[in-house]
Amino acid sequence: MIGSILQINNGSVEVDTTVMGSQQDGKKVKVPLNSSDKLFKEIRDMNFEVVVQVLRQKATSIQQDYAEVKSQSQSVSELKDFVKKLNSLPEIARHVNLAQHLQSFTSKPSFHARLDIEQTLLELQNYDICFEYIEEMIHKQESLANVLRLLVLFSITNSGLPKKNFDYLRREILHSYGFEHMPTLYNLEKAGLFKKQESKSNWLAIARAFQLIVEETDTANPKDISYIFSGYAPLSIRLVQHAIRSGWRSMEEILKLLPGPHVDLKRGVPNSNSLLDANPAFQSNFDRVTDGRRSLALVVFIGGISFAEIAALRFLSSQEGMGYDFLIGTTKIINGTTLLETLMGYKD
């Protein structure tokens, strides 16, 4: 959530000083977010709703301890424990301030309306409602990056838009935001992110095969990577999950529905039957490591990876019986907005 709304750059986010409780209005401050912050390390992979609950519990605990210190005679050992808790107070205050700032975005009706339309797009329902929602955003001249994010999702799940709708939305975008955005629309079409429909959508077949949409998700005690998006599992991480557990051979037909080529390797030689043959460690059951050590799996993302995908990989690695640690290689850390800004050539 924080990576999507505030955008983490080089291990920190930049916010107004007033967000962090300062009275110096108009100035910016960088707030570090990295593993040296013990609280951030604890909550960074949690669903935002759970983060708020954890922060509330920690603040309440300190408040209760303070009340006990005032009302009762405490031993030196108990006082020492209380002081240790107080040392974590600046961290708690920092994250409470950030959470409150995020809630100023997530509590808006427009935010929930957008989540609803994203869910509708993923489930490939109510084409006309989705079309009209995006059309209205364009006419209201909402952030072009936000419009394009939904438009790309609309196009991908429908395998493109019918020519009439495609041409109409392109024309409306240029009329509303200016003809200087023609290169942006060209880049999106060239990348296959916003295009004319040439074949029937296979999105639902892909979503079912990879279990991308999970109806019941326990965000507080997650059992599946779909908790990251409250019921949606990132396709990229599902691919990793299948690769380390059973290989891709059994999914050969469904993989053909995904854009781009795919290949399984055997000792560096293409056209093997299974990715599991590429490494002897993959051949045994993934949750059994003979010498007690976990194997290392290198996962490379060309073009970029989001913090949500990183969180999903960390979740996979933390599961009981998982025989692998993941090493991530990527060209960039991205989110939906920064990806589009690359294609737009500037920040909206």
Looking up tokens 């994203």 gives 118
What is the spatial distance between Cα 55 and Cα 91, in angstroms, rounded to a whole number?
Answer: 10
As a whole number of Å, the end-to-end CA separation of the chain is 20
CA-derived radius of gyration, the chain: 24
Is there a contact between 312 and 225 (Cβ–Cβ < 8 Å)? Answer: yes
Confidence category of residue 2, pLDDT binned at 50, 70, 90:
confident
246: phi > 0 → left, psi -120 to 50 → alpha, else beta; which?
Answer: alpha
Query: For residue 130, is pLDDT > 60?
Result: yes
Q: What percent of the chain has pLDDT over 90?
A: 45
**pLDDT (0 to 100) of residue 173:** 97
Structure tokens at 17: 């000083």
**For strand 269-270 and strand 265-266, is the pairing parallel, antiparallel, or unpaired?**
antiparallel
- Name all domains of the chain by residue range, CATH numbers in brackets: 2-106 (3.90.830.10), 109-200 (1.25.40.850), 203-337 (3.40.50.1910)
Query: For residue 289, is pLDDT > 90?
Result: no
What is the spatial distance between Cα 248 and Cα 17, in angstroms, rounded to a whole number?
Answer: 49
Query: For residue 285, is pLDDT > 70?
Result: no
Query: For residue 168, is pLDDT > 80?
Result: yes
Query: Which carries the bigger pLDDT value, residue 278 or residue 92?
Result: 92
**pLDDT (0 to 100) of residue 64:** 74
Query: For residue 109, is pLDDT > 50?
Result: yes
172-210 tens-digit pLDDT:
999 999 999 999 999 999 999 999 999 999 999 999 999
Q: What percent of the chain has pLDDT over 70?
A: 84
**pLDDT (0 to 100) of residue 78:** 61
Q: What is the mean pLDDT of residues 114-134?
A: 94
Closest by Cα among 247, 245, 259, 166 to 206: 259
Give the residue ranges of DSSP H helices in the chain. 2-5, 38-43, 48-71, 76-87, 89-106, 109-122, 127-139, 144-157, 163-177, 182-190, 203-209, 235-245, 252-255, 280-283, 307-318, 336-344
**pLDDT (0 to 100) of residue 142:** 94
Tell me the torsion sign for CA atoms 51, 56, 62, 68: negative
19-23, 112-116, 233-237, range with the lowest pLDDT? 19-23
What is the spatial distance between Cα 1 and Cα 219, in angstroms, rounded to a whole number?
Answer: 14
Query: For residue 282, is pLDDT > 50?
Result: no
Query: For residue 31, is pLDDT > 60?
Result: yes
Question: 161: helix, coil or strand?
Answer: strand
> pTM of the full predicted structure?
0.83
Confidence category of residue 76, pLDDT binned at 50, 70, 90:
low
What is the spatial distance between Cα 245 and Cα 288, in angstroms, rounded to a whole number?
Answer: 11
214-228 tens-digit pLDDT:
988 888 899 999 999
**pLDDT (0 to 100) of residue 280:** 42
